[in-house]
Amino acid sequence: MSKRNILVLATGNRNKYEEIVKIMSLSEWDVKFLKDFPNISTPEETGTTYEENALIKAKFCSELLKFPSLSDDSGLEVDALEGRPGVYSSSYGGVEGDSERNIHRLLKDLEGIPWHKRTARFICCAMFVLPDGFFHCEKGIVEGHIAVEPYGDNGFGYDPVFVPLGYENTYAELLQEEKNKISHRALAFQKMAEFLKEFDYENCSIR
Ligand code: ITT
């Protein structure tokens, strides 16, 4: 396999990695997980938007490893909380990446708020970056509601409390394949897969 066929997913989150690989079915790429490279972690996310943070992660990775890179920055925006936790979703409960705490705080903040006011959306920004600095972004948004308590064991993060619009179940109650068809990540990375199909790696342009 030649060097340019390697694509590194610039995420430290294995759940995201597994979802993205399944969504994209990247047959012509040798997809690597950042954790396959020893001693490399994701950089600090100092941006204030999903796009900025996604670019920071993918750029860091492609510059360092000299491979094309993909990243995902995502978050949950709750209307009753004026859009919080948003880009700070992974540390909302006070401890980075602690989903139980994040959910606990979210449900506490929404205590007493009726269903029709528990509207929220999951947003995903998918970013593709080449070592020369070229980048391309695709976005996916799924509207929904925040459940009153957690339901389901599948998925990760806020999945047990997010009910996508048109469904009666949380993301965590859906089968993995179902979530990977309709999620914010699915929408963003399906579009990215289409983009990459048309991408001319040799000349770095759309065919
Ligand atoms: P990387 O930055 O290493 O990719 P991360 O988990 O820190 O991994 P983000 O900075 O994008 O990712 O944080 C997004 C957070 O939003 C994530 O930690 C989850 O808590 C939540 N989240 C994103 N997508 C989700 C999904 O599909 N289901 C549930 N929660 C999700």
At residue 27, the 3 state secondary structure works out as coil
CA distance 114 to 97: 28
Which of 16, 49, 102 to mutate to test ligand 1, by most ligand atoms within 8 A of the CB atom?
Answer: 16
> Which residue's CA is the nearest one to ligand 1's atom 5?
13
pTM: 0.94
Question: Is there an atom of ligand 1 within 6 Å of 89 CB?
Answer: yes
Active site residues: 73
Q: How far is the CA of 2 from the centre of ligand 1 (A)?
A: 31
Q: 103 with 155: CB under 8 angstroms?
A: no
In a structure prediction context, what are the per-residue pLDDT tens digits for the chain, which is 207 residues long?
A: 454 478 899 999 999 999 999 998 866 778 889 888 888 888 999 999 999 999 999 999 999 999 999 999 999 999 999 999 999 999 999 999 999 999 999 999 999 999 999 999 999 999 999 999 999 999 999 999 999 999 999 999 999 999 999 999 999 999 999 999 999 999 999 999 999 988 766 655 544
Q: Is the CB of 12 under 6 A from ligand 1?
A: yes
Task: Encode pLDDT of 109-143 as tens digits.
Answer: 999 999 999 999 999 999 999 999 999 999 999 99
State residue 146's pLDDT score.
98
CA atoms of 114 and 129, how far apart (whole Å) = 42
**Any residues with CB less than 8 A from the CB of 150 and at least 6 apart, and which?**
103, 107, 160, 161, 170, 172
Cα of 16 vs centre of ligand 1, distance in Å, is 7
CATH topology of domain 3-206: Maf protein (3.90.950)
pLDDT tens for residues 193-207? 999 988 766 655 544
| DSSP reduced 3-state for 71 | strand
